[in-house]
Structure 1
Amino acid sequence: MCKSYYNGSSEEIILEKATQNIINIQPTAEAHLNKFLSFAQQYNAALAIYRLPNDSKLQILCDLSGGQYIEDFNLEDLSSGFLLHPFQTSSDRIVHFDAEILGEIDLEDKAPSNDLTESFDWKKIPSDSIQEKIENSNSSFDFTHLKNYPQLSSTLASDYIDMVEKGIQLIKSEEFYKVVPSKIKNIRSNNDINLGQAFVKACEKYPNAFVNLTYSSKTGLWFGASPETLIEDKKGEYFKTMALAGTQAKSEKSIAETTWTQKEIEEQAYISRYIINCFKKIRLREFDEIGPKTIHAGNLLHLKTTFKVHTESVNFPELGSVMLKLLHPTSAVCGMPKEPALNFLSKEEKHSRGYFSGFMGPVHLDGLSHLFVNLRCCQISNQSVVFYAGAGITEDSKAEKEWEETEMKCKVLSNIIFGI
Structure 2
Amino acid sequence: MCKSYYNGSSEKIILEKATQEIEHIQLTAETHLNKFLAFAQQRNAAIAVYRLPNDSKLQILCDLSGGKSIAELNLEDLSSGFLLHPFQTGIDKIVHFDSEIIAKINLNGENNSKDEPDSLEWQKSPKEEIEKKIENSNSQFDFNLLEKGSNNQSTLASDYIDMVEKGIQLIKREKFYKVVPSKIKNIESNNDINLGQAFVNACEKYPNAFVNLTYSAKTGLWFGASPETLIEDKKGEYFKTMALAGTQAKSEKSIAETTWTQKEIEEQAYVSRYIINCFKKIRLREFDEIGPKTIQAGKLLHLKTTFKVHTKTVNFPELGSVMLKLLHPTSAVCGMPKEPALNFLTNEEKHNRDYFSGFLGPVHLDGLSHLFVNLRCCQINNQSVTFYAGAGITEDSKAEKEWEETEMKCEVLSNIIFGI
Q: Same fold (TM over 0.5)?
A: yes
Match of 1:156 in 2: 156
Matches of 2:220 and 2:395, distance apart in 1: 37
Give the Å deviation of 1:27: 6.0
Residue 336 of structure 1 is matched in structure 2 by 336
Aligned counterparts of 2:249 and 2:408: Cα–Cα separation in 1: 8
Q: Work out whether residues 28 and 112 of structure 1, in 8 Å CA contact, stay in contact via their aligned partners in 2.
A: no
- 1:335 corresponds to which letter in structure 2? G
Task: Quote the residue 2:88 is aligned against.
Answer: 88
**How far did 1:377 drift?**
0.5
**Distance between the aligned counterparts of 1:301 and 1:172, measured in 2?**
28
2:134 aligned with 1:134: yes
**SS of match in other structure, 1:386:** strand
- How far the C-alpha of 1:90 sits from its partner, in A, is 1.3
Superposed counterparts of 1:122-201, under 5 Å: 122-149=122-149, 151-201=151-201
Aligned alpha-carbon RMSD (Å): 1.7
Aligned length: 392
Amino acid at match of 1:90: G
Q: CA deviation at 1:393?
A: 1.2
Q: C-alpha distance in 2, partners of 1:139/1:234?
A: 39
Higher alpha-carbon deviation: 189-198 or 295-304: 295-304
Query: How far apart are 1:256 and its partner, in Å?
Result: 3.1
- Flag the 1:64–1:202 CA change in 2: closer, same or farther, 3 A: same
Secondary structure of the residue aligned to 2:239 is: strand
CA contact (8 A) 2:27 2:117 kept: no
Q: In the alignment, what sits opposite 1:62?
A: 62
Partner residue of 1:22?
none
Residue 29 of structure 1 corresponds to which residue in structure 2? 29
Residue of structure 2 equivalent to 1:362: 362
After superposing on structure 2, the runs of 4+ consecutive aligned residues of structure 1 that deviate more than 6 Å are none
Name the TM-score, length of structure 2 as normaliser. Answer: 0.90
Distance, in Å, in 1 between the alignment partners of 2:245 and 2:268 is: 5
Tell me, in whole angstroms, the C-alpha distance in 2 between the residues paired with 1:262 and 1:84.
Answer: 36
- Could you tell me which residue of structure 2 aligns to residue 9 of structure 1? none
Aligned to 1:206: 206
Within 5 A, what are the aligned runs for 1:374-389? 374-389=374-389
Shift of 1:403: 1.7
8 A contact 1:247–1:405 mirrored in 2: no
The one-letter amino acid paired with 2:70 is I
Deviates more, 1:402-411 or 1:354-363: 402-411
CA contact (8 A) 2:230 2:372 kept: yes
Q: Which amino acid aligns with 2:140?
A: S
Q: Could you say what secondary structure the match of 1:120 adopts?
A: strand
Residue 22 of structure 2 corresponds to: none
Q: Distance in 2 between matches of 1:348 and 1:27?
A: 48
Q: 1:159 to 1:150 in 2, by over 3 A?
A: same
**Quick one: structure 1 residues 323 and 345, their matched pair in 2 at CA, closer, same or farther if it must change by over 3 Å?**
same
Contact 1:263 1:397 in 2 (8 A): no
What is residue 322 of structure 1 aligned with on the other side?
A: 322
CA contact (8 A) 1:212 1:223 kept: yes
- Judge conservation of contact 2:247–2:300 (CA < 8 Å) in 1: yes
State the partner residue of 1:38. Answer: 38
AA aligned opposite 1:227: P
CA distance in 1: counterparts of 2:194 and 2:403, whole angstroms: 29
CA 1:250–1:409 in 2, change beyond 3 Å: closer, same or farther? farther
Q: Report the counterpart of residue 249 of structure 1 in structure 2.
A: 249
What secondary structure is seen at the aligned counterpart in 1 of 2:132? helix
What letter corresponds to residue 318 of structure 1 in structure 2? E
Identify the residue that residue 307 of structure 2 maps to in structure 1: 307
* SS at 2:162 equivalent: helix
CA shift, 1:73, in A, is: 2.4
Aligned to 1:4: none
Q: Cα distance, 1:372 vs. partner?
A: 0.4
Deviation at 1:244, TM superposition (A): 1.3
2:151/2:352 contact within 8 Å kept: no
Contact 1:31 1:139 survives alignment (8 Å) = no
8 Å contact kept, 2:53–2:209? yes
Secondary structure in 2 matching 1:122: strand
Give, in angstroms, the shift of residue 419 of structure 1: 4.0
Alignment deviations for residues 176-224 of structure 1 (CA, whole Å, 9 cap, x no partner): 1111111111111111111101101111111111000000010000000
Aligned position for 2:9: none
Residues 73, 245 of structure 1: alpha-carbon distance in 2 compared, 3 angstrom cutoff = same
Deviates most, 131-140 or 378-387: 131-140
| Cα shift at 1:269 | 1.9
- Structure 1 residue aligned with 2:353: 353
1:273 to 2:258 alignment: no
User: In 2, distance between residues paired with 1:152 and 1:296?
Assistant: 34
Cα displacement string for residues 74-123 of structure 1 (whole angstroms, at most 9, x for unaligned residues): 11110000000000011110000000000211001237558xxxx22111
Equivalent position amino acid for 1:60 in 2: I
Paired residue secondary structure (1:302) = strand
Aligned sequence identity (%): 84
**Per-residue deviation, 1:272:** 1.0
Deviation at 1:364, TM superposition (A): 0.3
* Match of residue 50 from structure 2: 50
Does the 8 Å CA contact 1:82/1:361 hold for their aligned counterparts? yes
Matched AA of 2:243: A
Structure 1 counterpart of 2:35, one-letter code: K
Pair 1:372–1:252, CA change in 2 (3 A): same
Are residues 151 and 59 of structure 1, via their aligned partners in 2, closer, same or farther at CA, if it must alter by over 3 Å? closer
Distance 1:194 1:373, change over 3 A: same
CA drift at 1:26:
6.5
- Specify whether residues 151 and 357 from structure 1 end up closer, same or farther in structure 2 by C-alpha distance, changes over 3 A only: closer
CA distance 1:140–1:112, change in 2 (3 Å): farther
- Structure 2 counterpart of 1:198, which letter? A
Structure 2: how far apart are the matches of 1:142 and 1:252? 45
CA deviations 1:115-165 (Å, max 9, x no partner) are xxxx22111111001001101223421111111126432112221111111
Distance 1:171 1:357 in 2: 22
Contact conserved, 1:267 with 1:392, CA < 8 A, in 2?
A: no
